[in-house]
Amino acid sequence: MITQLPILQVVIPLIAAPLMVLLRHGTAAWLLAVGVSWASLAIALGLLSEVAGGGLVSYALGSWPPPWGIEYRVDSVNAYLAVIVSMVAAVVVVYMRRSVAEEVPQEHHYLFYSMYALCLAGLLGIALTGDGFNMFVFFEISSLATYVLIALGRDRRALMAAYQYLIMGTIGATFFVIGVGLLYLMTGTLNLADMAARLPDVTDPRPVLAALAFITVGVSLKLALFPLHLWLPNAYAYAPSAVTAFLAATATKVSVYVLLRFYFSVFGETAVFRALPTGSILLALSLAAVFVASVVAIFQGNVKRMFAYSSVAQIGYITLGVSFDSATGLTAGIVHLFNHALTKGALFLLLGGIALRAAAMRFDDLRGMGRLMPLTSFGIVLGGLSLIGVPGTVGFVSKWYLVVAALEQGAWWIAFLVVAGSLLALAYVWRFVEAAYFHAPDPKMAAGPGEAPLSMLVPAWLMIAACVYFGLDTGLTLGGAGEAAQVLLKGKW
């Protein structure tokens, strides 16, 4: 059983998706989705404990030994990521019941859950597979499911957002597959570990460099790195609330993992960061992401879109950590994967509660929310504090390590910019506080039903509580991230 964990992680949601279509029943599909998500979390935790301390689990699909067959290859980096994805899934799936019932037409429910299971299968597949082409296939599975999920939003602009994401995502995936194809051409293998072993023997470096460029740009789009983030704000703003929360917490994180895997485990740290200016470009783009997206967020009129732009900025912090190419920097980036998944997931879940009550998500519609929905509003404030990086929240842990990593390199100005970025976050979080706490509520709203239903509040607050808990007890998250960073820097997969 233990040896089958890697494949079970992917196959369970993958099989559940068509089953849900066959069931043709919303509630049954939801129950199945709950079971699948929780099972995924259990499996992911099992895998993480299996590889703890530098272990490696290799699973040959269909007993075809690698490099001929497809291999699932799990170390502490992707086990950590699978835990992030399945943890968010396990929380969000409980929340989905009420939120989806309100936002998606009844007849689409079973399809919605089916798409959700496919998306989960795709994301976990990307995380666990050790095969370049298989990774592309899972990229497509998760992306196609995502386009449908976004298009199910009740706002008519959701369709346009999904369409744009479809076009852009397809270009991104094409770039990725071109890169993988070039590598296949030069090395004759699709197995990533095998590829890494053969790359040093390649005599003509030009196609390899082209492959690196294609993969970098393709994945940068998927992870919404500035200036390729343009699909993200609308997709997040107009998708159903539960979808936004799930995607914001998982999809971009998985893409960051793919980038890390290719940089450190396939091409090798020396080739990517020492011989090429990748680090400097990534640094420049990350800082631009932090500042441009934060300032744009300050001026947004729609609170969901504001937090979407904040996601772009936070992704900038993650890639900033990666760009340092040091153990501390990588630890900061990887721990921020986890921390930002928690924070943004919680924030979008809470906003979903507001979406049930308010007419729209403009700041004018949020007036007096502090009084009407005290728990929801206070949760958003706590999540906002984590975005700012206030001590006692997970956001502080990430920022602290980023600053330490910057100082290690003697880059005082970057440390200063990280802190300045927090001030911008303070500005946009304050806009919510002002609308929610310093204005009288709309009398029409005041007569409304008030606080969000418990089935939505409890999952959201669970994540907020985790934001505070992991902000204080950093052993688990930092330990995992530190180990992942060590494994990546070792280079061998």
Partner 1 sequence: MYEIGSSLALHPGVFLMAGAIVIALTRGAIRNALALLAPLATLYLVWQVPDGTAATVRFLDFELAPLAGGRLSRLFAVVFAIMAGGGALYSLKQEHRLELAAALFYAGAAIGVVFAGDLITVFVFWELMAIGSTLVIWSAGTPAAYRASLRYLMIHLLGGALLMAGIAGHVAQTGSIAFEGLSTNAPSHWLILAGFLLNAGAPPLSAWLPDAYPRASWSGMVFLSAFTTKTAVYVLLRGFPGTEVLVYVGLFMAFYGIVYALLENDMRRLLAYSIVNQAGVMVAGIGLGTETALNGVAAHAFASVPYTALLLMAAGAVLYRTGKRECGSLGGLARSMPVTALCGIVGALSISAFPYTSGFVSKTMISQAAADGHLLWVWLLLAAASVGAVLTAGMKFCWFVFFHRDSGLRPPDAPRSMQLAMILFAASCIGVGIYPDPLYAALPYPVHYQPYTGAHVVAKLQLLLFAVLVFFLLLGWLKPARTITLDVDWLYRVFGPWLAASVLHGLALLGGRGEQRLRQAMDAAWKGLQRHHGPEGILARTWPTGSMALWMMLLLLAYLLFYYL
Q: Which is nearer to partner 1, 205 or 448 (CB)?
A: 205
Does the protein bind partner 1 through residue 185 (CB under 8 A)?
no
Cα angle, residue 264 at apex, residues 262 and 265 outer, rounded to 5°: 70
H or E stretch covering 232: helix 232-238
344 within 8 A of 314, measured Cβ to Cβ = yes
Question: Among 36, 115, 152, 168, which residue interacts with partner 1 (rule: CB under 8 A)?
Answer: 168
Does the protein bind partner 1 through residue 276 (CB under 8 A)?
yes
Helices (H), 52-156: 76-103, 109-128, 132-151
Instruction: Report, in Å, the least distance between residue 172 CB and partner 1.
Output: 7
Closest CA to 256 of 126, 64, 107: 126
Question: Among 33, 296, 402, 414, which residue interacts with partner 1 (rule: CB under 8 A)?
Answer: 296
Restricted to residues 429-468, the positions that interact with partner 1 (CB under 8 A) are: none
Question: Among 172, 316, 370, 383, which residue interacts with partner 1 (rule: CB under 8 A)?
Answer: 172
Part in contact with partner 1 (CB under 8 A); list of ranges 117-125, 164-172, 240-248, 251-259: 164-172
Instruction: Report, in Å, the least distance between residue 46 CB and partner 1.
Output: 22
Q: Per-residue contact track with partner 1, 57 to 96, x per CB under 8 A?
A: ----------------------------------------
Does the protein bind partner 1 through residue 478 (CB under 8 A)?
yes
Question: Among 40, 146, 234, 252, which residue interacts with partner 1 (rule: CB under 8 A)?
Answer: 234
The residues near 76 (Cβ < 8 Å, ≥ 6 apart) are 48, 51, 52, 54, 55, 480, 483, 484, 487
Part in contact with partner 1 (CB under 8 A); list of ranges 27-35, 97-105, 194-202, 227-235: 227-235
Q: How many CA atoms lie within 13 A of 309 on its CB side?
A: 20
Q: What are the phi and psi torsion angles at 231 (to 5°)?
A: -75, -25
Does the protein bind partner 1 through residue 490 (CB under 8 A)?
no
Question: Among 30, 136, 147, 231, which residue interacts with partner 1 (rule: CB under 8 A)?
Answer: 231
Part in contact with partner 1 (CB under 8 A); list of ranges 142-150, 208-216, 439-447, 455-463: 208-216
Distance CA 142, CA 139 (A): 5
Instruction: Report, in Å, the least distance between residue 319 CB and partner 1.
Output: 14
Q: Which is nearer to partner 1, 40 or 244 (CB)?
A: 244
The residues near 16 (Cβ < 8 Å, ≥ 6 apart) are 32, 33, 35, 36, 117
Part in contact with partner 1 (CB under 8 A); list of ranges 102-110, 221-229, 260-268, 316-324: 221-229
Does the protein bind partner 1 through residue 147 (CB under 8 A)?
no
Instruction: Report, in Å, the least distance between residue 220 CB and partner 1.
Output: 7
Does the protein bind partner 1 through residue 409 (CB under 8 A)?
no
Instruction: Report, in Å, the least distance between residue 302 CB and partner 1.
Output: 9
What is the token pair recorded at 134? 């298989």
Q: How many CA atoms lie within 13 A of 291 on its CB side?
A: 11
Restricted to residues 306-325, the positions that interact with partner 1 (CB under 8 A) are: 309
Distance CA 292, CA 295 (A): 5
Instruction: Tell me the β-bridge partners of 362.
Output: 302
Question: Among 15, 281, 359, 489, which residue interacts with partner 1 (rule: CB under 8 A)?
Answer: 281
Part in contact with partner 1 (CB under 8 A); list of ranges 56-64, 196-204, 346-354, 400-408: 400-408
**Omega of the bond leading into 67 within 30 degrees of 0 (cis):** yes
CA distances 314 to 228, 290, 343, 444, Å, are: 14, 7, 10, 36
Q: Which is nearer to partner 1, 55 or 207 (CB)?
A: 207
Does the protein bind partner 1 through residue 221 (CB under 8 A)?
yes
User: Alpha carbon 195 to chain centroid distance?
Assistant: 26
By CB atoms closer than 10 A (0-12, 13-18, 19+), residue 37 is: buried
CA distances 87 to 17, 40, 120, 341, 439, Å, are: 19, 8, 11, 10, 36
Helices 327-357 and 241-260, packing angle to 10 deg: 170
Q: Per-residue contact track with partner 1, 353 to 392, x per CB under 8 A?
A: --------------------------------------xx
Does the protein bind partner 1 through residue 400 (CB under 8 A)?
yes
Give the total of residues touching partner 1 (CB under 8 A): 46
Question: Among 80, 112, 147, 175, which residue interacts with partner 1 (rule: CB under 8 A)?
Answer: 175
130 within 8 A of 192, measured Cβ to Cβ = yes
Part in contact with partner 1 (CB under 8 A); list of ranges 113-121, 166-174, 255-263, 341-349: 166-174
Helices (H), 5-75: 5-23, 26-51
Rg value, the chain, Cα: 21
For partner 1, the binding residues (CB under 8 A) are 160, 163-164, 167-168, 171-172, 175, 206, 209-210, 212-214, 216-217, 220-221, 227-228, 230-231, 233-234, 276-277, 281, 292, 295-296, 298-301, 309, 391-392, 397, 400-401, 407, 472-475, 478
